[in-house]
Amino acid sequence: MDFKLSEEQLLIKEAARDFAKTELLPGVIERDEKQEFPTEQVKKMGELGFLGMMTSAEYGGSGMDTVSYVMVMEELSKVDASASVIVSVNNSLVCWGLETYGTEEQKQKYLKRLASGEIIGAFCLSEPEAGSDATSQKTTAIDKGDHYIVNGTKNWITNGNSADVYLVIAQTDPEKKHKGINALILEKGMPGFEIGPKEQKLGIRGSDTHSLIFNDVKVPKENRIGEDGFGFKFAMKTLAGGRIGIAAQALGIASGAYELAKEYSKVRKAFGTEICNHQAIAFKLADMHTQIEAARHMVLKAAWDKDNGNDYDLSGAMAKLYASQVAMDTTIEAVQIHGGNGYVKEYHVERLMRDAKITQIYEGTSEIQKIVISRSVLKD
């Protein structure tokens, strides 16, 4: 067993850490307050190659491994989880899906621009009545020979208004249930494609979340990903990798809050000494450190599984389930360690606590991860 990271992996982690400090930290509180999308920062992340990390250079990406990707996700998420979810969706749900299952034409037309960060993408599965129950798609894509006509509504779409390219899951043949679902590439501006209102959110407020409305949108057949009826499997396969990215995001939120709490405990005094000298605080830090380290191992193991061609549905689901719980627990404790200051925006931990919650919800709630995990362990 080799726990050593390569020089290249360490360098990219360092680059992400520097970027987070110099480019994401300034203004993060204001962006959260105003629900402002980090446009400039996303542009710079594209230039650094963070938006197409696992995509091969041939298609405009950085050609790195999943281990490097999760380390970048952790570093960015320590500071700004709104920025990191943009990275996660573009990498795991959009670029990976297109490179793995798209046609050469689709890769040339869309992937190159997405992986280089020239544009960003969105993944559109959730609906008002199809969140966890993702096979119950009400959005339809009716086959009209050389094109589909798409109608319906998608909800809670990350990058909803900022994306240019949308991977939309829709039902073509309801009789075939999930085997009659397709994944289609839609472009912003297609007639009948409307962006709904922006959601007012508890956390990751800099990320741009919208509903999408489709009214008779004509989508050419060459924009279908994979064979007819492959859409649901496409979504499941893509989400399996996406969950590793969100697990890394949760890990970053937890470690960011932990680092802030540790530093604070070394300077804040109470009862005549720095609060880290009180066992009540020191033991909290011990628990946080231990849980974060365990989460990090699970995230890296899932990433390593993906890089080594192993099944990663189970390790990814476990990593997300555990890391998101650690994110929640750690951020709550980080606020507690900060006391009154923890409740104040300028200390950052209250934002991290709000941001942590979404990691237990999107890309499959914790309950969905338990379905995936229990089905996997019970099948043997």
Q: Is 96 in the site for ligand CAA (CB under 6 A)?
A: no
Count residues near ligand CAA (CB under 6 A).
23
Q: Is 134 in the site for ligand CAA (CB under 6 A)?
A: yes
The window from 220-228, 290-298, 341-349, 358-366 that contacts ligand CAA (CB under 6 A) reads 358-366
- What string of H, E and C letters represents the secondary structure of the chain? CCCCCCHHHHHHHHHHHHHHHHHHCCCHHHHHHHCCCCHHHHHHHHHCCHHHCCCCHHHCCCCCCHHHHHHHHHHHHHHCHHHHHHHHHHHHHHHHHHHHHCCHHHHHHHHHHHHCCCCCEEEECCECCECCCCCCCCCEEEECCCEEEEEEEEEEEECCCCCCEEEEEEECCHHHHHHHEEEEEEECCCCCEEEEEECCCCCCCCCCEEEEEEEEEEEEHHHECCCCCCHHHHHHHHHHHHHHHHHHHHHHHHHHHHHHHHHHHHHCEECCEEHHHCHHHHHHHHHHHHHHHHHHHHHHHHHHHHHCCCCCHHHHHHHHHHHHHHHHHHHHHHHHHHHHHHHCHHHCHHHHHHHHHHCCCCCCCHHHHHHHHHHHHHCC
Give the residue with the Cβ less far from ligand CAA, 206 or 342.
206
Q: Is 353 in the site for ligand CAA (CB under 6 A)?
A: no
Among 138, 188, 221, 233, binds ligand CAA (CB under 6 A): 233
Give the residue with the Cβ less far from ligand CAA, 73 or 85.
85
Among 41, 106, 126, 315, binds ligand CAA (CB under 6 A): 126
Give the residue with the Cβ less far from ligand CAA, 66 or 265.
66
Give the residue with the Cβ less far from ligand CAA, 89 or 119.
89
User: Catalytic residues, which ones?
Assistant: 363
Restricting to residues 272-311, name those near ligand CAA by CB under 6 A.
none
Q: Is 198 in the site for ligand CAA (CB under 6 A)?
A: no
Residues of this chain that bind ligand CAA (CB under 6 A)? 85, 89, 123, 125-126, 132, 134-135, 158, 178, 232-233, 236-237, 239-240, 313, 362-364, 368, 371-372
